[in-house]
Structure 1
Amino acid sequence: MLLSADAAAAVEEISIVGLFRDRAIVMLDGVQRVLTPGNPSPEGVTLISASSREAVLEINGSRNTYMLGDRITSQFTAPLPQQSVTIAPDGHGMYFVNGSINDFQVTFVVDTGATLIAMNKHQAKRMGLDYKMEGEPSVSSTASGLDKVYIVSLNKVAVGEIVLHNIQGSVHDGDYPDVILLGNSFLRRINMQRDGQLLKLEQLY
């Protein structure tokens, strides 16, 4: 069944989240679709061609080329600029970066070994997080042993221009860690790659 242009016009945002030969994975207003050439999605978006580098989409009769990570608004004229942050290591090879949690300014250290964004009780209290009332008690393994922690939901986490919402975090009921750990609850929702010694973080969608 052919779909009218009105179907595609109703889609407000398209994000390119996966590219392969003759296949593209896209998010259409938050719904994931796997597109193959010539087969329009239920929303009326058609993949013309795809490779691991780029995809050609037809939207409302107009064809444009898009790259992985591109996000297109309802005007569908061109991809929005991809938000990214490039971090240089300190003298010990650690990657520190400024950001915010719930609009409270903080310093993070990138830690791919941390499951969640992790902070100590003093940092949480300064942010106004009522972690004992709102968090879920748990236990975390650290270098010094087992720590009592509270699992919380962070409404907004920003690193440079990258902004994500509803990120899980953990509050250690003690003095660890000294610096807030930017863990995998944030990192797995972005693209992270090295360029020599530099670390580049890119927002996916």
Structure 2
Amino acid sequence: MPRLFVLFCLTVCSSLALAAPQVRVVGLFPGAAVLNIDGQRKLLKIGQTGPAGVQLVSADAHKAVLRVDGAEQTYELEREYSGDGYAAPAARTEMGIARGTGGHYWVAGTINNQNAQFLVDTGATSVAMNEGQARRLGIDFRTVGTPMMASTASGTAKGWRVSLNSVKLGGVEVLGVEAIVLEGDFPTEILLGMSYLNRVGWREDQGMMYIQAKH
């Protein structure tokens, strides 16, 4: 009987050990971190809980403190790993956008994995959209956003400052992008502003804009 009990304990303990989440920090920002939890990438802000109950306690540009299985641990930035071991750094990704009507750059991409059409606007400080576009993208800006007043071409408008989990053009993805949601129908197109462009490499050359991921 004791022997069976020991075997049972070993089996249960082994199962619990296998169930412990595999956690890596693959992106760090002041007050936020991008985690890889059992192969799933998730952007968390301080106090938020992600897959497997992993909670972000604190974060800065150098390290993050996570609560995993009830215990707080400090993590530094790592490269991501694959099931076959260490993942080689990804090749630099670049995409080109042809200048369109009126000298503007129009490009399709995604926001939070939802399809979006952008107008590149280097004069806009942030990604900007109207409230209808935000609702279509599933952004609950009135609940999670910070109320603000914004200056537009039409005057002053009520808005909400939000953080987008992901903005992606082709293979160039940026996590944790600041955006402004404006009340009403302005802007008519989602503006791709500097809150995204400042975190990628970009240049204009002979009627083309090239956007490149930073590594």
* 2:166 alignment partner, SS class: strand
Match of 2:194 in 1: 184
Structure 1 portions without partners, runs of 5+: 1-11, 14-29, 32-71
One of 105, 122, 126 as aligned partner of 1:112: 122
Go from structure 1 to structure 2 and tell me whether the alpha carbon gap of 1:193 and 1:148 turns closer, same or farther (over 3 Å shift): same
Measured in 2, the distance between the counterparts of 1:73 and 1:133 equals: 33
One of 83, 92, 95 as aligned partner of 2:93: 83
Query: Pairwise mapping of residues 29-44 of structure 1 onto structure 2 (< 5 A)?
Result: 31=62
Where in structure 1 do 4 or more consecutive aligned residues deviate above 2 Å? 72-80
Matched, 1:95 2:105: yes
* 1:92 alignment partner, SS class: helix
Number of residue pairs matched by the alignment:
140
Go from structure 1 to structure 2 and tell me whether the alpha carbon gap of 1:77 and 1:133 turns closer, same or farther (over 3 Å shift): closer
Go from structure 1 to structure 2 and tell me whether the alpha carbon gap of 1:197 and 1:148 turns closer, same or farther (over 3 Å shift): same
Alignment deviations for residues 6-56 of structure 1 (CA, whole Å, 9 cap, x no partner): xxxxxx98xxxxxxxxxxxxxxxx75xxxxxxxxxxxxxxxxxxxxxxxxx
Query: Pairwise mapping of residues 12-161 of structure 1 onto structure 2 (< 5 A)?
Result: 31=62, 80-161=90-171
Q: What is the deviation of 1:80? A: 2.8
* Length-normalised TM-score, structure 2: 0.60
Q: In structure 2, what residue type is equivalent to 1:95?
A: Y
Measured in 2, the distance between the counterparts of 1:103 and 1:73 equals: 20
Q: What is the deviation of 1:179? A: 0.6
One of 149, 166, 175 as aligned partner of 1:165: 175
Determine what percentage of the aligned residue pairs are the same residue.
37
Q: Which has the higher helix share?
A: 2
- Please report the RMSD computed on the Cα atoms of aligned residues, expressed in angstroms: 2.4
Measured in 1, the distance between the counterparts of 2:210 and 2:198 equals: 14
